[in-house]
Amino acid sequence: MRKPPSQSRTCRPSKRLTGGCQPKDVDDRPNSLPAVVAHYQAHCQKRAAAGYQFYASRPSLEDVVKIAAFAENPAAKRDGHQYRLTNEALKKAYRRLPEADLRTCTTVHQLFTEIEDRIGQITGIGPLMVYDTALRIGAFLGLEPEKVYLHRGARDGAKVIGLGKGKDTLEVSELPGPFHRLRPREIEDCLCIYKKELKVIHGT
């Protein structure tokens, strides 16, 4: 459980697919949008890049599909995003993913759509699992998101700054200027990690 907001804040490694971090509350916690982005860059960006590289460096598409289907993180454990999913749901995902025509996809959005068609109807599999799977496989294929995908924590972060209502994605240009220093996948990560700080900053 997190400490109360009055405590100090820093970042620690998480089980996120990108190897990002989850912040702890600190005295110098970010109190503006530029500070949030700077804090992410200082404490989370390198870990996120290292985690992303883990999937990009897999030996084959078959290998990355397997670890993506079973939601494995670089520590060879279940990713924190998918820890509530049943083994049966993940096994079904593994059986169905090879049916997807992944090699012909040229964008993460095409990957997302193809993967959603294959596993999106499995009980327990939601947009977050579909996005994480597309991001993991996209890393291997050399594809990065061109938009900011909104789901759960990222949607909450966007909502408190008045964005994303009724949308599944945001263009980077729709976000405030400080976020333009980040890649779309990093913006998604940042919105999720710092949603509580953003809520305080915007007084919502």
Local confidence band at 62 (pLDDT 50, 70, 90 cut-offs): very high
3-state per-residue secondary structure call for 122-150: CCCCCHHHHHHHHHHHHHHHCCCCCCEEC
pLDDT, tens digit, 9 for 90 and up, residues 92-146: 999 999 999 999 999 999 999 999 999 999 999 999 999 999 999 999 999 999 9
Neighbours of 56 (CB within 10 A): 15
**pLDDT of residue 16 exceeding 80:** no
Per-residue pLDDT, 145: 96
Per-residue pLDDT, 17: 42
**pLDDT of residue 58 exceeding 90:** yes
**pLDDT of residue 26 exceeding 60:** no
**pLDDT of residue 8 exceeding 70:** no
Averaged confidence pLDDT in the chain: 87
Per-residue pLDDT, 81: 87
**pLDDT of residue 14 exceeding 90:** no
Per-residue pLDDT, 1: 37
Residue type (1 letter), 201: I
Alpha helices in the chain (DSSP H): 33-43, 45-56, 61-69, 87-96, 108-119, 127-141, 152-160, 184-193, 195-202
180 by Cβ neighbours in 10 Å (0-12 / 13-18 / 19+) ranks as exposed
Percent with pLDDT over 90 in the chain = 76
What would the two tokens of residue 131 be? 């996005």
Q: 177 or 29, which is more confident?
A: 177
Local confidence band at 154 (pLDDT 50, 70, 90 cut-offs): very high
**pLDDT of residue 165 exceeding 50:** yes
Q: How far apart are CA 44 and CA 56, in angstroms?
A: 19
Per DSSP, the three-state class of 56 is helix
Pairing of β 169-170 and β 21-23? unpaired
**What is the mean pLDDT of the segment spanning 39-65?**
94
